[in-house]
Chains A and B, each alone.
Chain A
Amino acid sequence: MDKFGLFFNMQKAHKNDPIIALATAPGTGAIAVLRISGKDSIRIVDSLFKSLKKKTLSLSNVASHTMHFGMLQSDGLLLDEVLVSVFKGPHSYTGEDTVEISCHGSPFIQQQIISAFLKKGVRMAEAGEFTLRAFLNGKMDLSQAEAVADLIASDSEFSHQLALKQMRGGFSGEIEKLRQELIHFASLLELELDFAEEDVEFASRTELIHTIEKLESEIQSLIDSFEAGNVIKTGIPVVIAGKPNVGKSTLLNVLLNEERAIVSDIAGTTRDTIEEEIFVSGIKFRFIDTAGIRETSDAIERIGVQKTLEKIKESPVILYMFDINDTTVSSLQSDLEDLRSHVSSEFKLIPVANKIDKHDFIKIHAEFSGIPGILFISAKEKKNVNELRQLLVDKFKSGLLKGTDTAVANARHADALHKTSEALNRVRTGIQSKVTMDFITGDVRIALHYLGEITGKITTDDLLENIFSKFCIGK
């Protein structure tokens, strides 16, 4: 029956051979963790391991989820003093027997240990292979596996929480609920089609449209949460705008120095924008130091100004900084007015008066306090910088994730939600414009299909490929 020549070789496919990889970040650190998983992994580690406390201890006999101190030896040479943690399948991350070895963090030692295990027939894990096995062994579903990939890539407390939440299946649960509602809706329509001859009452069009609208709005809020979730992952952009020499760079340096958590310096697209990633209270912010905004005839500078305006539009928060010493209330008001024409919401714009150290504070305060939301700081003296920080955190917490306790963190999911939403839209307009039910139910099925793609009810080849290629070694 092999007419298509499409049969596959099972030998290649069934993998539970032992694999090893570094589970911690590569490079020098205090300690490093190596993970070995698969058939015989405990026995293999045991063959190189010697307990320091109890000479006769064999790892093959210890209880699962226990830790043991000892030496790793290979060819009579001491490799390192290590702690080994033993996890017996199926109660391990991969579902297989797994050992984690905590060793000293030098790349040389790590390499020596890995080589010793490679000689024992263990092979290097491929990217994402531990998670692949966890998935294959039924330890997690598709969207959970994706969340693991996100978790590994997450670098702020909030994106970490987002990924954790998804990994625990909260998001799948939400979608499954919507799917069930849609299935119920679909069955109402199917009833009309297959049992038209029977004496049954059919759902009213108004009710159908009502249900669809409800589903649409729920899906829309999930889509919105993706935008928010995306912001959490990539950092919340905060534009620092203002004329040259008002102290923008000083403020940035102050924020940077105090948090000491620079992730990267990204040179902006023009020489005039600089972006810095800074964590404030576990939230990742992306500060964008912009070129000034002013009328200019210089072509290159004009591009810079253009870029600044774009950044301002995209950012949920704009700090407009000015030097209190050479600004009058009326000139500030006109500058703010100017900015507001580029900003969608009043909420975004925070006027920041700098260099208060150079002036009589009580007098300034009296003069400028009428400006809504204004903040007085001295970047140089680090005065009130904490207040600025708190303000940013508050804005994030109150605004960005309001009302959405389930957030969509993954682009594939967001895409599926978009397609679901499009299909539901066609269902609604179809019902309204009296398209016949056979075609309307076609769109309902499409919507179901895409919701199913999220929970893994339907999987396609590239879906899996895509997911597994995103994993880094170790997890």
Chain B
Amino acid sequence: MQTQYDVIVVGAGHAGCEAAAAAANMGSKVLLITMNMQTIAQMSCNPAMGGIAKGQIVREIDALGGYSGIVSDKSMIQFRMLNRSKGPAMWSPRTQNDRMLFAQEWRQMLEETPNVDFWQDMVSGLIVENHTVTGVRTGMGLEFKGRSVVLTNGTFLNGIIHIGEKHFGGGRTGEKAATGITEQLVELGFQSGRMKTGTPPRIDGRSLDYSKMEVQEGDVIPGRFSYLDTPLPKEQRNCWITYTNEDVHSILKEGFEKSPMFTGRIQGLGPRYCPSIEDKINRFADRDRHQLFVEPEGWNTVEIYLNGFSTSLPEDVQYRALRLIPGFEKAKMFRPGYAIEYDYFPPQQLNLSLETKIIQNLYFAGQINGTTGYEEAACQGLMAGINAHLKINEKEEFVLRRSEAYIGVLIDDLVTKGTDEPYRMFTSRAEFRTLLRQDNADIRLTPVSHRLGLASDERLKLVERKVLGTNELISFLKDLSVHPDTINPLLNELGTDAVRQKVKLNGILLRPQVNIQDLVENVVELKEYTQNIDSDIRGHIVEQAEILMKYEGYIEKEFDIVTKFERLEDVYLKDDFDYLNLSSLSMEARQKLSKIKPRTLGQASRISGVSPSDISVLMVYLGR
């Protein structure tokens, strides 16, 4: 049996799968160890990928050559582009997925990836020599040697599941928790903490009355996450919206005294933006109803996921409350919601490469770093996998900047500021979201990833064609004049001023009422031009050209700010910089800086407790 690997990945969730695929595709021999081969890439919580800010991350993962986008596309049962009315920087793709199919597609893609081996076992410890990890020990007593190790333990480290007053060890419902790793890491000098998350009950869809709910359909023309030509579904499944009411609330309140949230049995902090239903009722007592999303779990199952009803109240309370929700009068429950507590390691203990500061060649990704969400986990796994491979090949680490990708924002936030509650991405966390759009993740990231040896030639070629085609279309629009007789009927129809003389099309496109599709349909020359664009990337090119032209002013302004911002990002700080003796820094700043060891002045400026005047002090010291 082979026991020597380049990269060992512990855990096969979203983070672990991406880590294994990335390292393997770059050429490392990878061993993926999971406690259960049947639950590879489980969607432990809701059967959906993407959404606001998260959809952008999936696009970025895909642009870098990760698998999450392709898997989501292949397993989608519904596609919606969220925030359509809010402008292109906010457009956020989201899919509803078939839970079983999702896991199956992931496993198949991994199995088809050369260099990935699998092993079912529990990793109980790390082999560490000289502050460097060299392998892992398993519950079966085996030792595997790895030149680098990626830990993606999710909620399994000392996981405890809570349902009402009952609580038992487990990493997910019906699965055992993992023990040993936390204890060893703490012994090695790591700090650990507890976090909490939860999940709602699963319902028998046959018992629901959908006529009492609002239907939520997918987009008429579904989009996709991947920049590759993944197949689109021929039909889509509906979701529904319903609401709680005061009757539901009063039943739930009966269970409060038995709720582990309120009895203090759960110590970990849960996410404020994904609260349990008891939390919502408790904190927003003035709201008489809360929105619930009724989401099917797949093509061939009647199982329903009740999004918005995450709870750890006793199962009988859950059941009684459910039945008071419109449409749920006869609801049958498959399994109750629960809360889970697990260990995490405050992520300030990591470098921006996701390598730990204490132990070399050891990488952390996913919930172990205090994040929540499949997308957040997957992108960390991808970055950890890339860096685990680069490190053992003595190559420079791969770090994305805040101005380059949401992934850059996420990792910088974690490593620099840490997090007390499960960290989720929001677009408002990104300073430059006008640049970090879902439509241009490939332009931003595929060339970089191709240079690393991850993104395929096929991907690069596609991006090059897209960029070239976009530029040509923009020039064409800037050169093409139209006669008032041609354009005025359209302008009248759209309720915008007519033109008196021939005008260039780009000027017309700047009007808020006009979109490029209107012009394509009304201007023959443009129609002919676009029809000559290769059909596989026509849509991308037309969309890209429209965004770049319509919002040119805003986009350029943002680039100016990036340039200003990057000047701090370009000032590198030595790891052995002696902050403790800089008496002109505040005491808090001295301690935080020497603990976090920021890579750049820009990163230093984002550490909480480091004030602008501390940064000015550093700048003056650095002779800037």
Which of B290, B551, B616 makes the CB contact (< 8 A) with A459? B616
Which residues of B have CB within 8 Å of A456? 612-613, 616
Instruction: Enumerate chain A residues within 8 angstroms of B291, measured Cβ to Cβ.
Output: 198-199
- Report the Cα distance A192→B428, complex, angstroms: 11
One of A436, A438, A445, A459 near B612 (C-beta < 8 A): A459
Q: Within the complex, what minimum Cβ distance (angstroms) separates B571 from chain A?
A: 7
Q: Is A402 an interface residue (CB 8 A)?
A: no
Q: Within 8 Å CB of B612, what residues of A?
A: 142, 452, 455-459
A457 to B613, CA, bound (A): 8
Is the pair B624, A3 in contact by a Cβ cutoff of 8 Å? no
Is A56 in contact with chain B by the CB < 8 A criterion?
no
Report the bound CA distance from A135 to B586 in whole Å. 12
Closest residue of chain B to A137, judged by CB? B584
Assess whether A330 is interfacial by the CB under 8 Å rule.
no
Structural contact, B427 and A439, CB atoms closer than 8 A: no
Please, how many angstroms separate the alpha-carbon atoms of A374 and B567 in the complex? 60
Docked-complex contact A132 and B433, CB < 8 angstroms: no
Contact with A along B487-522 (1 / 0, CB 8 A): 000000000000000000000000010000000000
Per-position binary interface string of chain A over residues 167-194, scored 1 when its CB falls under 8 Å from any chain B CB and 0 otherwise: 0000000000000000000000010111
Q: Which of B65-73, B120-128, B133-141, B575-583 contacts A (4 or more CB under 8 A)?
A: B575-583
Given A138-B584, A445-B431, A456-B613, the answer on whether A438 and B89 have CB atoms closer than 8 Å is yes
Q: When the two chains form their complex, are residues B427 and A193 in contact, meaning their CB atoms are under 8 A apart?
A: yes
Contact A14:B582 (CB < 8 A) given known A437-B90, A445-B431, A459-B615 = yes
Question: Are B426 and A438 in touch, CB under 8 angstroms?
Answer: no
**Closest beta carbon of chain A to B409's beta carbon, Å:** 13
Tell me if A461 and B619 are in contact (CB < 8 A): yes
| Chain B 580-624 near chain A by CB (<8 Å), digits 1 or 0 | 011110100000000000000000000000001101110111111
Q: How far is the CA of A198 from the CA of B617 in the complex (A)?
A: 43
Interface stretch (choices A5-13, A18-26, A216-224, A304-312): A5-13
Q: How far is the CA of A135 from the CA of B568 in the complex (A)?
A: 20
> B570 an interface residue at 8 Å Cβ cutoff?
yes
B396, B554, B570, B577: most-surrounded residue (chain A CB, <10 A) = B554
B561 part of interface (Cβ distance < 8 Å): yes
| Nearest-neighbor residue (CB-CB) of A459 within chain B | B616
Cα A74 to Cα B583 in complex, Å, equals 33
Across the interface, do A193 and B86 meet the contact criterion of CB distance under 8 Å? yes
Q: Known contacts being A138-B613, A141-B613, is A193 close to B575, with CB within 8 Å?
A: no
Q: Does B451 contact A (CB under 8 A)?
A: no
Give the residues in chain A near B577, CB-CB below 8 Å: 10
CB-CB nearest in chain A for B292: A199
B91 nearest CB neighbor, chain A only: A438
Instruction: Verify if A449 is at the interface (C-beta below 8 Å from B).
Output: yes
Q: Are A190 and B622 in contact (CB under 8 A)?
A: no
Give complex CA distance A110, B590 in Å: 40
B621 touching A464, Cβ below 8 Å: no
Kindly state the separation between the CA atoms of A459 and B90 in the bound complex, as whole angstroms.
Answer: 29
Instruction: Determine if B564 and A194 form an interchain contact, defined as CB atoms under 8 angstroms apart.
Output: no
Nearest to A7 among chain B residues (CB) is B574
B88 part of interface (Cβ distance < 8 Å): yes
CB-based contact B619/A459 at 8 Å? yes
B82 at the A interface (CB under 8 A): yes
B570 proximity list for chain A (CB < 8 A)? 4, 6
In the complex, what distance in Å separates the CA atom of A194 from the CA atom of B570?
A: 30
CB neighbors of B among A117-137 (8 A): 132, 135-137
A138-B573 Cα distance, complex, nearest whole Å: 21
Known A196-B82, A196-B83; contact A14-B616, beta-carbon cutoff 8 A: no
Report how many residues on chain B are interfacial, defined by Cβ distance under 8 Å.
55
- Within 396-450 of B, Cβ neighbours of A (below 8 Å) are at 396, 426-428, 431, 433-434
Minimum distance in angstroms from A119 CB to a CB of chain B: 28
CB-CB nearest in chain A for B80: A197
Tell me which residues across on chain A come within 8 A of B616, comparing CB atoms.
Answer: 135, 142, 456, 459, 464
Query: Of the candidates A7, A14, A434, A437, which one forms a contact with B621 in the assembled complex, judged by CB atoms under 8 Å apart?
Result: A14
Give the chain A neighbours of B86 by CB distance below 8 A.
192-193, 196, 436-438
| Residue from A135, A437, A449 in contact with B87 in the complex, judged by beta carbons closer than 8 Å | A437
B433: chain A residues within 8 A (beta carbon): 438
Out of A1, A137, A438, A449, name the residue touching B575 (CB < 8 Å). Answer: A1
In the complex, A10→B52 CA distance in Å?
44
B366 at the A interface (CB under 8 A): no
Point out the residues of chain B lying under 8 angstroms from A449, CB to CB: 561
Question: For the complex, is B53 an interface residue (Cβ under 8 Å from A)?
Answer: yes
Contact between chains at B623 and A13 (CB < 8 Å)? yes
A residues near B290, Cβ cutoff 8 Å: 199
Contact A193 to B621, CB < 8 A, known contacts A442-B434, A456-B613, A458-B612: no
Complex: how many Å from CA A137 to CA B551?
Answer: 45
Interface residues of A in 422-439 (CB under 8 A from B): 433-439
The verdict on B558 contacting chain A, using a C-beta distance below 8 Å, is yes
In contact, A438 and B90 (Cβ under 8 angstroms): yes
Q: How far is it, in angstroms, between the C-alpha of A452 and the C-alpha of B561 when the chains are bound?
A: 14
Residues of the A chain whose Cβ atoms lie less than 8 Å from the Cβ of B571: 6
A282–chain B nearest beta-carbon distance, Å = 33
Q: In the complex, A459→B89 CA distance in Å? A: 28
Name which residue of chain A comes closest to B605, CB basis: A458
**Are B624 and A464 in touch, CB under 8 angstroms?**
yes
Bound Cα distance from A193 to B90, whole angstroms: 7
Are the CB atoms of A4 and B572 closer together than 8 Å?
yes
Q: A197-B51, A456-B613 are in contact. Are A461 and B90 (CB under 8 A)?
A: no
Cα separation A144 to B396 with both chains bound (whole Å): 43
Decide yes or no whether A206 CB sits under 8 A from chain B.
Answer: no
- Chain B residues in 8 Å Cβ range of A190: 426-428
Query: Does the CB pair B613–A7 fall under 8 Å?
Result: no
B434 x A464 contact (CB < 8 A): no
Q: Is the CB of B619 within 8 A of A464?
A: yes
Q: B53 to chain A: which residues have CB within 8 Å?
A: 194
Q: Does B557 contact A (CB under 8 A)?
A: yes
- Chain B residues with CB under 8 Å of A198's CB are 291
Query: In this assembly, does B85 line the interface, its C-beta being within 8 Å of a C-beta of chain A?
Result: yes
B344 to chain A, nearest CB (A): 24
A446 interfacial contact with B, CB 8 Å: yes
With A6-B570, A199-B291 as known contacts, state yes or no: A438 contacts B624, CB within 8 Å. Answer: no
Once A6-B570, A13-B623, A193-B428 are accepted as A-B contacts, the answer to whether A136 and B561 lie under 8 Å apart by CB is no
Which residues on B sit within 8 Å (CB–CB) of A398?
A: none
B620 touches A136 (CB 8 A): yes
User: Would you give the 0/1 interface string for A95-118, flagging 1 where the beta carbon is closer than 8 Å to chain B?
Assistant: 100000000000000000000000
Question: A195 to B554, alpha carbons, bound, how many Å?
Answer: 23
- Minimal beta-carbon separation of A455 from chain B (angstroms): 8
* A10 adjacent to B426 (CB under 8 Å): no
A197-B51, A434-B512, A438-B434 are contacts. A10–B621 as well, Cβ < 8 Å?
yes
Given A137-B584, A138-B584, A458-B612, A197 contacting B52 (CB threshold 8 A): yes
- In the bound complex, residues from chain A placing their C-beta under 8 Å from that of B89 are 438-439
The interface bits of chain A over 437-467 (1 if a CB of B lies within 8 angstroms of the residue's CB, else 0) are: 1110010011001001001111111001000
Cα–Cα, bound, A75→B514 (Å): 87
Inter-subunit contact B572/A7 (CB<8 Å): yes
Q: List 12 A-B contacts (CB under 8 A).
A: A7-B572, A10-B577, A13-B623, A135-B620, A434-B512, A435-B512, A437-B86, A437-B87, A438-B88, A438-B89, A455-B612, A459-B615
**3 A-B pairs with the lowest CB-CB distances in the bound complex, closest first:** A436-B87, A438-B89, A199-B291
20 other A-B residue contacts (CB within 8 Å) besides A8-B623, A442-B557: A3-B396, A10-B577, A13-B620, A135-B617, A136-B620, A138-B584, A141-B613, A193-B427, A194-B52, A196-B82, A196-B86, A196-B90, A197-B52, A438-B433, A439-B87, A442-B434, A445-B431, A446-B561, A460-B564, A464-B620
Give A contacts to B, CB under 8 Å.
1, 3-4, 6-8, 10, 12-14, 95, 132, 135-138, 141-142, 190, 192-199, 433-439, 442, 445-446, 449, 452, 455-461, 464
B residues with CB within 8 A of A = 51-53, 82-83, 85-90, 243, 289-291, 396, 426-428, 431, 433-434, 512, 551, 554, 557-558, 561, 564, 567-568, 570-575, 577-578, 581-584, 586, 612-613, 615-617, 619-624
